[in-house]
Structure 1
Amino acid sequence: MERGGAAALSDAELAARLRRRDARAFDELYARYHPRIFSFLVRLSGRRDVAEDLFQDTWLAVARHADRLAEDTDLAAWLFTIARNRYRSHRRSAVLDLARAALFSREPAPAAPGPEAAADARAEVAALEGALRSLAAGHREVLLLGAVEGLEAAQVAMVLGIREDAARKRLSRARAELAACLEKRNAERPRTGSTPSISAADAADRRARGGSR
Structure 2
Amino acid sequence: MDKYKLLSDSELVSLLKKRDRGAFAQIYDRYSMMIYYKINQMLREEDVSKDLVQDLFTAIWEKSDLIKDDVGISSYLYVASRNRVLRYIQRAKTKSDYLNEIGKYSLRVSDETLEKIDEKDLMLLITNEIAKLPTKMREVFELSRLEDLSHREIAERLNLSESTVKKQVQNALKILKARLSHYNSLGIILLIFLRSN
Change (3 A) 1:7 1:30: closer
Change (3 A) 1:87 1:13: same
Residue 72 of structure 2: which of 71, 74, 79 is its match?
A: 74
Change (3 A) 1:40 1:15: same
Change (3 A) 1:40 1:7: closer
| Deviation, structure 1 residue 41 | 0.6
Question: Could you tell me which amino acid in structure 2 is paired with residue 95 of structure 1?
Answer: K
Change (3 A) 1:97 1:54: farther
TM-score w.r.t. structure 1 length? 0.48
What is the alpha-carbon distance in structure 2 between the residues aligned to residue 134 and residue 83 of structure 1? Answer: 15
What is the alpha-carbon distance in structure 2 between the residues aligned to residue 69 and residue 44 of structure 1? Answer: 24
Q: Which gives a bigger RCO, structure 1 or 2 (Cα 8 Å, sep 6+)? A: 1
Structure 1 residue runs of 5 or longer lacking an equivalent are 100-132, 147-151, 163-169, 174-213
What is the alpha-carbon distance in structure 2 between the residues aligned to residue 158 and residue 75 of structure 1? Answer: 17
8 Å contact 2:4–2:12 — kept in the other structure?
no
Structure 2 residue runs of 5 or longer lacking an equivalent are 121-184, 189-197
Is 1:153 aligned to residue 104 of structure 2? Answer: no
Aligned to 2:103: 138
TM-score w.r.t. structure 2 length? 0.52
Question: Could you tell me which amino acid in structure 2 is paired with residue 44 of structure 1?
Answer: M
Larger C-alpha radius of gyration, 1 or 2? 2
Note the aligned Cα RMSD (angstroms). 3.3
Aligned to 1:21: 19
| Deviation, structure 1 residue 136 | 4.4
Residue 62 of structure 1: which of 60, 63, 73 is its match?
A: 60
Question: Could you tell me which amino acid in structure 2 is paired with residue 138 of structure 1?
Answer: G
Higher helix share: 2
| Deviation, structure 1 residue 159 | 6.1
8 Å contact 1:15–1:73 — kept in the other structure?
no
